[in-house]
Amino acid sequence: MKTLVPNMITCGNMLSGMLSLVLAFHGHFVPASWLVFFAVFFDFMDGKMARKLGGSSSFGMELDSLADVVSFGVAPAMIIYSVYLKGFFGVTGALVAAFFALCGALRLARFNVHHVDGSFQGLPIPAGGHLLVSFVVAGIHLPPVLMALLVTATGFLMISSVPFGNLKALKAGSLNKRKAVFMWASAFILIAVLRNKAPLAGMLIYIISGFAGVDWGKWLSLEEMAEEEDLAEEDT
């Protein structure tokens, strides 16, 4: 039971990815894109539930990676190919989409083998997939060449060593509530002002913060606030 519940939640992640692919096949690209966002709920909850029940396992970790490849690698790649890259210089568009999915798989394999605490090394595959489908949700029509460059750059970011914030590093009871309220309020303002463009704005903020060295998990932690207070006391 300890491992069954988290694994069933992980299956919800893969199911979302598969349904996204089916919708994309039938030309329903916006609902297909929203399913990619919905999949992240299962991706977050399976690990949380596994830690709560003490049901973490190697099997669960491998299943989680397979689900992530489908939901955040293959599904976004297919959606972007269908909307922006279909027929782009023959098979070039298909190769660009395949490159993104391949980089996502490599990113997950590296994470499983060389997992370290703290910031993510390279753009997480959920963020990469969300960035791409955010353009579809926002209704932004880019020329195929620009989208091809964006997809390729996102693929390289996933296999890079650029650090990105890790919210999964937050532990129970270590959340700075004031900062969390500020972040949620900012998110609601983005949604109210930008509406369907809010997911894209959020993903761009996250990616820019990686290059700026902002670790959102650490920033939201009470431990970070305690370190700042200790430094202030040392300065005085």
- 78 lies in a domain? yes
How many other CB atoms are found less than 10 A from the CB of residue 232?
9
- 128 lies in a domain? yes
Q: 136, 200 in Cβ contact below 8 A?
A: no
Buried b (16+ CB within 10 A) or exposed e, 52-65: eeebeeeebbebbb
Tokens, residue 191: 């949604």
Q: What is the pLDDT of residues 172-189, one digit of tens each?
A: 567 778 888 888 898 899
Cβ partners under 8 Å of residue 31, min gap 6: 23
- Closest by alpha carbon to 83, among 35, 29, 138, 20? 29
- 100 lies in a domain? yes
Residue 109: domain span: 4-169
Model's pTM, two decimal places? 0.85
Q: Domain containing 94 — which CATH number?
A: 1.20.120.1760
The residues pairing with 231 across neighbouring beta strands, listed in sequence order, are none
Q: pLDDT at position 115, please?
A: 67
Q: What is the pLDDT of residues 20-54, one digit of tens each?
A: 999 999 999 999 999 999 999 988 887 777 777 77
Q: Which residues of the chain have pLDDT under 50?
A: 225-236
Count the domains in the chain.
Answer: 1
